[in-house]
Amino acid sequence: MIEIRLELPLTEFALDLSVELGSGCTGLFGPSGSGKTSVLEILAGWRKPRSGRVRVGQDVLFDAGARIELRPEQRSLGYVPQDVLLLPHWSVRENLEAAGELDARVLETFELEPLLARGVRSLSGGERQRVALARALLTRPRLLLLDEPLTGLDRERRRRALALLLSVKERFAVPMIFVSHDATDVQVLCDEVVVLERGRVRAQGAPAAVLAAQPGAGFENVLRGHIASASEGSAALELRPGLRIEVADPGLSSGTAAVFALRGEDVLVARGPLPPISARNRLRARVHSVREDGGEIWIEADCSGVRLGARVTRAALHELELAPGVEVTLLFKATSCRLVAA
């Protein structure tokens, strides 16, 4: 459990937080300039808040009242800042060894073997991110701090980087704080999200629900599975044994783990028998909840254990008499599913 209370005047506004976070992956979401980076710098010990308290598990990193202030080298946090900060006078190997003993699992996960002897200046943007992330993990941290690690990467690289982060989360089981201004990334990666605006917390909770309410964000269905088969421009994504959906062919080989995103707006809800229809995915589901959020209606339905969300109008809600427990068919096109991580 992570406790963060801090107060720090910045140039345009004051940072004023009081949150408690779980030990999975927490997203820190907000527009640029909302103070997200400052929060990470305070956690890392690079900046000092005017008042507050920071605790990770049992360990107090900072407590203004009790005059506790651990130095950065004592905090055991893996920090990957936006400017990455690989030490330029060292090779990749030296940068990694500065963090800790080289670990085979880390080297393998990040495919670092061919890069070890290279000088830092010769790396591409994506390679630098990988090295920085590996370096953070090699410190055996109690918490990972990632500041916009996917910004500036092209689509292909983002996809792979996000897949990497997912596997890190799974393999190394380290709590993470993931700063991003991309709602989809947060929904894919994080277990909970804190929304920051002008230094203050606007919302906190499960990513899908919280972010759906954010202007410009939108609800994303995160579909995690394996590519089962591929042919003729489309592929099957197996979400659960027996539960497959059709997606546009991403060019991945069979068996690859992949994550797709599907906007709630792109999901249609039907009751009763269906006519022939072009949507390739028609899933039988049972309505789990109906929620109204600022004039928008959100239906969450359960389909063989997978929760999917759809956005409907009030009129549709009434016309179809949608309510928890009702059986529906969820419809969406194969092309509405976007590959986000693989």
Partner 1 sequence: MGESGELSVLRVTLEVAFTATVLVAPLAIGMGWLLARVRFPLRSVVETLVALPLVLPPTAIGYLLLRLLGRGGWLSESVLGFDPDLLFTWKAAVLASAVVSFPLATRSARSAFEAVEPRYELMARSLGMTRARVFMRVTLPLARRGLAAALLLAFARALGEFGATVIVAGNIPGRTQTLALAIFEDIQLGREDHALLWVGCSALLAFGVILCSERLLARERSPA
Residues in the site for partner 1, rule: CB under 8 A?
44-46, 71-73, 75-77, 79, 81, 83, 85, 87-89, 98-100, 121, 135, 139
Instruction: Quote the least distance from Cβ 71 to partner 1, whole Å.
Output: 7
Instruction: Quote the least distance from Cβ 78 to partner 1, whole Å.
Output: 8
CB neighbourhood size of 128 (10 A): 18
Rounded distance between C-alpha atoms, residue 5 and residue 60, angstroms = 12
Nearer to partner 1, 67 or 71 (CB): 71
Rounded distance between C-alpha atoms, residue 250 and residue 224, angstroms = 14
Nearer to partner 1, 40 or 259 (CB): 40
Instruction: Quote the least distance from Cβ 179 to partner 1, whole Å.
Output: 16
Instruction: Quote the least distance from Cβ 83 to partner 1, whole Å.
Output: 7
Nearer to partner 1, 151 or 234 (CB): 151
Contact between residue 252 and residue 235 where contact means Cβ atoms under 8 Å apart: yes
Q: Nearest-CA neighbor of 52 among 12, 6, 98, 2?
A: 6
Nearer to partner 1, 4 or 340 (CB): 4
Rounded distance between C-alpha atoms, residue 127 and residue 114, angstroms = 11
Instruction: Quote the least distance from Cβ 67 to partner 1, whole Å.
Output: 19
Nearer to partner 1, 41 or 238 (CB): 41
Instruction: Quote the least distance from Cβ 294 to partner 1, whole Å.
Output: 40
Rounded distance between C-alpha atoms, residue 204 and residue 196, angstroms = 9
Residue with tokens 């269906």: 274
Rounded distance between C-alpha atoms, residue 288 and residue 265, angstroms = 18
Q: How many CA atoms lie within 13 A of 169 on its CB side?
A: 20
Nearer to partner 1, 95 or 187 (CB): 95
Residue 279 sits at φ, ψ, to 5 deg, of -60, 125
